[in-house]
Structure 1
Amino acid sequence: MNSNNALILVAEDEPEIADVIAAYLEREGFRTVRASDGRAALDLHLALKPDLVMLDVQMPRVDGWEVLAELRRRGDTPVIMLTALDQDIDKLQALRIGADDYVVKPFNAVEVAARARAVLRRAGNSHGSILRVGPIEVDLESHVASVVAGAEPDRTTLPLTLTEFRILAHMVRAPRRAFSRGELVDACLPGGDALDRTVDTHLSKLRRKLEDAGAPGFVNNVRGVGFRLADLS
């Protein structure tokens, strides 16, 4: 991705802060568009498909956490959270829902621009990448997941639904993590009314398809937490 013409959506309800961020980003060669509340941010994201979103947590109408969760349901647009909250639990919440970076106010606008360039560079490097864990291969660009196993080896394409693919790709990105049902709902299930237990149904079908393709026991339950991939180290 050429960051010199990247479009950045600045979702910040304080005009003075939005002005400073936009000025520094534009000085660095980025294009910017602004949203002063969460609903406007979601509407602009849908209409303009920005390359990066800088998102304040304490937004009117729809707060930053809800905006971030909806952006993750829609896809993988990089997001940097901007907030005055500096507690570790808030940083963990941002990363849990799927933020790419987290900047605490008061911040240096030059640093924010540098963070934006770094996140865009990582996003550009990962675009179209293939993730591999054990026998599983996930092509993020073509939305195809396969099991590559056996002495030959044989490749079996998994007949996954969109939600099953999202769940598998989300877990493969962090293969040693345990994921709660709530996190998988936020990151992978379209619509805002999905129940945590819905994940069990999707994972049951995903397990069956993995087993049929020659990768049994790849998704495991973690008591009291949720799910994680098998330890393939």
Structure 2
Amino acid sequence: MKNRDVFQVNEKYHQWLTQMGLMSFEQLMFNDIGCKIDNRVRRIEGCGKVVYLKRQFNTSIYKSIEKYLQGQYPHSKGFNEYTHIRFLQQAQMPVMDPIATGERRKLGFPRCGFILVEEVKGVLLDKCLNELSIEAQKTALLQAFGRLLARLHQNGFYASLRFKDIIVTDVNESSLVMIDRETRRIYPRYYQKIKAKISLNKSLHRIKRTFRAFDDHYMNIILEAYKSVSLPGRDEAVNR
């Protein structure tokens, strides 16, 4: 059976993609373009923009079958991430801007795919916290992170969030933007206290595992900021 290629473009980037000659699935999925960052990611610069292309050359048929058994339509990781980001944007969440996505399907299964996103200029939150010497700025960033977590839960997004998933775009304003939003649950769900609690605990656990300086002081600042956001059942969610 013939392959079926799916290609979606964020209309605000249509002109840029045309100028760069990247207006097809084949070009973005298989061409040797940009600078190789690792086996999956390439950095592309041109026409006034820096973008990142994340490719997945093989998808698991078993995971696709699992999705079908759950009554869901399977997609490649990049396609799912693109869709998830669009839902985050609809909820007015600060997240990287997606440019395009695509996947190749055969016999109803995704076989490969990609996502193309614009670079977020700034510094990773974990690096920023390590380098800052002014405690008030550190506290403000941690508070902003706690409020962001609460807003995600408030809007039905429960994927865990780590410091390394955040770019600080303005230290003085404590402006944060999310990157790398791969998740199995791409659609927003109804708010549930138990899901908020699980997501909060998972996020804090993963931060503690990947950020050595994380301690009770940091955690308390995040939790107090989390509780400051109007959230149904918030006290139960932060009852650790």
Scaled by the length of structure 2, the TM-score of the pair is 0.32
Higher RCO by CA contacts (8 Å cutoff, separation 6 or greater): 2
